[in-house]
Amino acid sequence: MADSDSAALSIGSRIRRSRRSREMSQATLAGLVDRSESWMRGIEAGRLKLVKHSVIERLADVLEVDAAWLLGIPLEIGKDTGHSAIPALRAALRRTGLSLAGHPGLRPVAPPSLLTELRVDVDRITRRRQAANLLEVMRQLPDLTESLNTGTLLSSGRERDAVDVLLIETSHVARTVLNQLGYHDLAWTAVENAATAAARLGDPLMSACSAWDRCGVLLHTGSVDEAFAVAEAALLGLQEQLATPSPQVLSLWGALHLRCAVASARRLDAAAAWMHLREAEDAAARLGVDRNDFQTVFGPSNCGIHAAEIAVALHQPHIAVQRHAAIDVTNLSSKERHTRHRIEMARAYGQLKHDAAAVEELTLAIRLAPHYVYNHPMVRDLVDELCRRGRPSAVDSGLGAIERAMRQ
């Protein structure tokens, strides 16, 4: 099959093609992912939607293909989509784990850099990530990771502690973009490297930060119960510091409650979701302003954005629309967070069957960060749904142009 034909396959067609290439029956594949044969027939025929990332990951593992390919995300190495950096980044993250473990016999693969130079590079890639500049982040990430690996191998004492902090920050960047591109296994490797570095530092705030990052991967893969457990344990670890909390403690406290709120919403526990959101809002009110401690971008605006996301997960789109009206998105410091909010609002309008409004929100998101939007699996699901409905108002608003752009 030609590459252009492959790009046009639905996720069901990709599953069927991979299954047949392994001479596997539908019943066998269904059993390996704890589903019924009739469910598998429906998925392959396109009658049922495959929306849980955890199931997609299990199918990809069994079929020995990349989850990003199943989702229809282009993987051509020569194509400028961010995926071309994955092989080098995979190797760099593996070496990070070995370096942090103190494995004997390792040699640096990148020349040494001054600590001040590494600090500048980490700040630069963080700004690019928050600006949703996916391609530039992926171009820089492998080399920066290798430079930090060299620092880990060659430094000691306070300098090594400083390198560990930079490694944790960079691992957060890696986790975010790898989740976005569909490489959740690599995202998990990045957060586990960060957790190892945080444990070596012995800093409780860094440990809480790494827990927050772990939740970011777990939520992306549909492991909501585990995400809730990790966030709840991290909250317990911070409780002693709440008597006289620093702004950093309040930021992490609120951000972890937002993780609990999202996890609760995804398991349809509305009472717990709104309770954890109120806890986060209380922390944001004590801060009074939006901050960016540990790249959480936590504050009143972020709580408003998460309120909309929670409402969508609970299938309460009218609440998302109400909450959206109270958010001043023009003041958001993170273009990535702004873009994600536009996607959630598009999903809310999609649930309300206000298809033209959904397309308008997607258009605004694309203007902010096109690669971020086109690589997002939830956007692909929404666009497929809007195309099936085919309402003239959505078509007139530009649905066709978005659908064509996503298939290029």
pLDDT digits (tens, 9 = 90+) for 135-149: 889 989 999 999 999
Query: What whole-number distance in Å separates Cα of residue 252 and Cα of residue 238?
Result: 9
My answer on whether 172 and 234 are in the same domain is: no
Query: What whole-number distance in Å separates Cα of residue 40 and Cα of residue 12?
Result: 9
Asked whether residue 63 is domain-assigned, the answer is yes
What DSSP state is assigned to residue 315? T
Q: Which of 333, 349, 381 is the C-terminal boundary of a domain?
A: 333
Burial status of residue 173 (CB atoms within 10 A of its CB: 0-12, 13-18, 19 or more): buried
SS (H, E, C) 143-184: HHHHHHHHHHHHCCHHHHHHHHHHHHHHHHHHHHHHHHHCCH
My answer on whether 217 and 329 are in the same domain is: yes
My answer on whether 240 and 322 are in the same domain is: yes
My answer on whether 224 and 279 are in the same domain is: yes
Q: Which of 44, 70, 96 is the C-terminal boundary of a domain?
A: 70
Query: What whole-number distance in Å separates Cα of residue 138 and Cα of residue 286?
Result: 36
My answer on whether 176 and 263 are in the same domain is: no
My answer on whether 323 and 403 are in the same domain is: no
Q: Which of 201, 236, 251 is the C-terminal boundary of a domain?
A: 201
Asked whether residue 75 is domain-assigned, the answer is no
My answer on whether 106 and 190 are in the same domain is: yes
pLDDT tens, per residue, the chain with 408 residues: 333 333 445 788 888 877 876 778 899 899 888 889 999 999 988 888 776 666 887 888 788 776 666 776 544 433 456 778 888 999 999 999 999 998 989 999 899 999 999 999 999 999 988 888 888 899 899 999 999 999 999 999 999 999 999 999 999 999 999 988 888 889 999 999 999 999 999 999 999 999 999 999 999 888 999 999 999 999 999 998 988 999 999 999 999 999 999 999 999 999 999 999 999 999 999 999 888 888 888 999 889 999 999 999 999 999 999 988 888 777 667 788 889 899 999 999 999 999 999 999 999 999 988 888 887 878 888 998 898 888 888 888 888 888 888 766
Contact 314, 271 (CB under 8 A): no
My answer on whether 97 and 177 are in the same domain is: yes
> For the chain, how long is the longest CA-to-CA vector?
65
Query: What whole-number distance in Å separates Cα of residue 200 and Cα of residue 204?
Result: 11
Angle at 44 between CA 43 and CA 47, to 5 degrees: 50
Structure tokens at 55: 């199931």
How many domains are there within the chain? 4
My answer on whether 130 and 237 are in the same domain is: no
My answer on whether 211 and 329 are in the same domain is: yes
Asked whether residue 379 is domain-assigned, the answer is yes
My answer on whether 40 and 102 are in the same domain is: no
Asked whether residue 275 is domain-assigned, the answer is yes
Angle at 240 between CA 236 and CA 246, to 5 degrees: 110
Query: What whole-number distance in Å separates Cα of residue 391 and Cα of residue 100?
Result: 54
Contact 173, 126 (CB under 8 A): yes
Residues 142-187: tens digit of each pLDDT: 999 999 999 999 999 999 999 999 999 999 999 999 988 888 889 9
- CATH number of the CATH domain containing 37: 1.10.260.40
What type of residue is 212? W
My answer on whether 248 and 315 are in the same domain is: yes
pTM over 0.85: no
Strand residues in 176-254 grouped as ranges (E): none
Strand residues in 311-353 grouped as ranges (E): none
Asked whether residue 240 is domain-assigned, the answer is yes
**Domain span including residue 145:** 80-201
